[in-house]
Amino acid sequence: MQKFLSVFTWQKKDRAGRYEREKKVATSGTPAQRLALARNRKTHPEILYYLAQNDPDQQVREAVAQNEVMPVHVSPFLARDHSPDVRLALAARLVALLPSLSADKQSQLYAYAVQALGTLALDEVLKIRLALSSTLKDHAYAPPKVAAELARDVERDVSEPILRFCAALSDRDLLDILKSHPASWVVQAIAGRSTVSKMVSAAVINVDDIPGGKVLLRNRGAEISVETLQQIVEKAREYKDWQEPVAARPFLPFALAKELAEFVDASVRDLLMQRSDFDGAMAEEIADVFRRRLDFIRGDSKKPETVAQRVKRLAKKDELNDETITDALAVREVEFVYAALAQLSGIPDDTLKEIFEARSAKPIVAICWKAGLSMRTALSLQRDLAQVAPKNLIYPKGGTDYPMSDEELDWQLDFLGVAKK
């Protein structure tokens, strides 16, 4: 027992002596001695801390940053070191430490590391930000706050890898970035992520970036809601580059495929008809859209007839419906559309034209509801006849239903001085 106590006492004195020797070297040793001290894994943490804060030699401070036993609480200080090489060495060390520190994200050490990485993410030296971005883009333990900083970097080489690959980047950050009218490459990077949520997909489409939307539609990891697909199909009338990828999109509702078939060219129509998830009857229905358009243009009366006569004839045959009106709209038979709406709603042509020329979505939706037309037809009339601004369009609820209540629709009709439904 006495021997054990003697050894313990000797070890204690030796540690105390070593600490004093390290302290002396740190304060008055030669550059070579201080560098050796900074590199030694057995150096006391307090001595490393002192060297990081006070040593005038860049190589010494860099060696502290690279030391595996570097005290993490000195990292916020080193992140502001005037030497880029010290800051770069610190970045590499902190990234290597993240897996062990992330085990307890509530710890003070993790907070120190994230604080330092956040400072480095804003570093004025590009190569430091590039090093962080290229390392953290695939890092499972990348701190979300640091990823968000890098994602907003003005240098494309820094931000693009984070936007495209970093799983730590939150939907909230992605949505915020998309709201700021980003460059096309930003939209494309976000649209091409391995997974894209429905909210982010909708935001990508709302930016109206044609290349970005095309990337999203081709991305099988992107979740796209029915409502967003509806908007995509509507916008595809103008954005022809979206027509082929949306036609090939998995889980495209048949109703939207039919709507797409109304305005695409033959190659996209053939792509729709060849989809494996549509049976023969569905493919035939898509082909029928084209035949109906030709029939509408030719007409089926044996003798010439006026628009009014044609409307009355079709109404008598109970063929004045959504398909007929959308066919007429597609071939720009505007007078027929107004006459058909007047017949179905009981509202005079002149009144209808005034309402549509006002380009207000809600009254148009109410008129279509009164006429017994679908909400999808109401959307087509808002966009193609009234030319309502895209941001003011009212879309079907769930892809098909009227989004306004009966009371709201009746109120609109009453406000227009039109008899309620």
| Average pLDDT estimate for 249-262 | 88
Q: pLDDT at position 171, please?
A: 97
pLDDT reading at 152 higher than 80 = yes
Q: pLDDT at position 10, please?
A: 40
Q: pLDDT at position 121, please?
A: 97
- Kindly report, residue by residue over 289-341, the tens digit of the pLDDT: 766 665 666 566 566 788 898 899 889 989 899 988 988 887 778 999 999 99
Per the prediction, the chain carries an average pLDDT of 89
Angle (nearest 5°) at CA 330 between 327 and 333: 80
Q: Does residue 313 or residue 269 have the better pLDDT?
A: 313
Q: pLDDT at position 301, please?
A: 58
- Label residue 124 by pLDDT band (50, 70, 90): very high
Looking at the chain, the whole-number percentage of residues with pLDDT higher than 90 is 69
- Label residue 9 by pLDDT band (50, 70, 90): very low
pLDDT reading at 73 higher than 60 = yes
Looking at the chain, the whole-number percentage of residues with pLDDT higher than 70 is 92
pLDDT reading at 43 higher than 90 = yes
| Average pLDDT estimate for 204-232 | 96
Q: pLDDT at position 291, please?
A: 66
CB 78 within 8 A of CB 116: yes
- Rounded to whole angstroms, what are the CA distances from 269 to 24, 51, 69, 272, 322? 83, 72, 65, 5, 21
- Label residue 281 by pLDDT band (50, 70, 90): confident
Least trusted range by pLDDT, from 47-56, 100-109, 369-378, 409-418: 100-109
Q: Does residue 390 or residue 411 have the better pLDDT?
A: 411
DSSP collapsed to 3 states, the chain: CHHHHHHHHHHHHHHHHHHHHHHHHHHHCCHHHHHHHHHCCCCCHHHHHHHHHHCCCHHHHHHHHHCCCCCHHHHHHHCCCCCHHHHHHHHHHHHHHHHHHHHHCCCHHHHHHHHHHHHHHCCCCHHHHHHHHHHHCCCCCCCHHHHHHHHCCCCHHHHHHHHHHCCCCCHHHHHHHHHCCCCHHHHHHHHCCCCECHHHHHHHHHCCCHHHHHHHHHCCCECCCHHHHHHHHHHCCCCHHHHHHHHCCCCCCHHHHHHHHCCCCHHHHHHHHCCCCCCHHHHHHHHHHHHHHHHHHHCCCCCCCCHHHHHHHHHHCCCCCHHHHHHHHHCCCHHHHHHHHHHHHCCCHHHHHHHHHCCCHHHHHHHHHHCCCCHHHHHHHHHHHCCCCHHHCCCCECCCECCCCHHHHHHHHHHCCCCCC
Least trusted range by pLDDT, from 24-33, 279-288, 360-369: 279-288
pLDDT reading at 115 higher than 50 = yes
Least trusted range by pLDDT, from 3-17, 307-321, 386-400: 3-17
